[in-house]
Amino acid sequence: MEGRYTPSILAKITGLPAHYLRRLEKAGLLSPCRSRGGRRLYTQRDLEILKDVKQLKEKGINLPGITEILKNIDR
């Protein structure tokens, strides 16, 4: 799947700060592709994951908990 969303666009869509996307990438939840210039580009699948992350975060679940929950979901 081709990446099409930049971090700033995803931040606007989800309301999550762009720096949080990098934390999610380090946690293994997101794997953006890169443009020729090295810029992160996120897919529709990444957007769906971020919607789940936002819901869990709003319930007060921390990043390790979110990671554990989402890595155990069959997608």
pLDDT recorded at residue 75: 57
pLDDT above 80: residue 3:
no
pLDDT recorded at residue 8: 94
Of 29, 42, 30, nearest to 70 (Cα)? 29
What pTM was estimated for this model as a whole? 0.85
Domains of the chain: residue spans and CATH: 7-71 (1.10.1660.10)
For the stretch 61-74, pLDDT in tens is 999 999 999 988 75
How many helices (DSSP H) and strands (DSSP E) are in the chain?
A: 4, 2
Of 40, 2, 44, 5, nearest to 22 (Cα)? 40
For the stretch 27-53, pLDDT in tens is 999 999 988 898 999 999 999 999 999
User: For residue 12, what pLDDT band results from cuts at 50, 70 and 90?
Assistant: very high
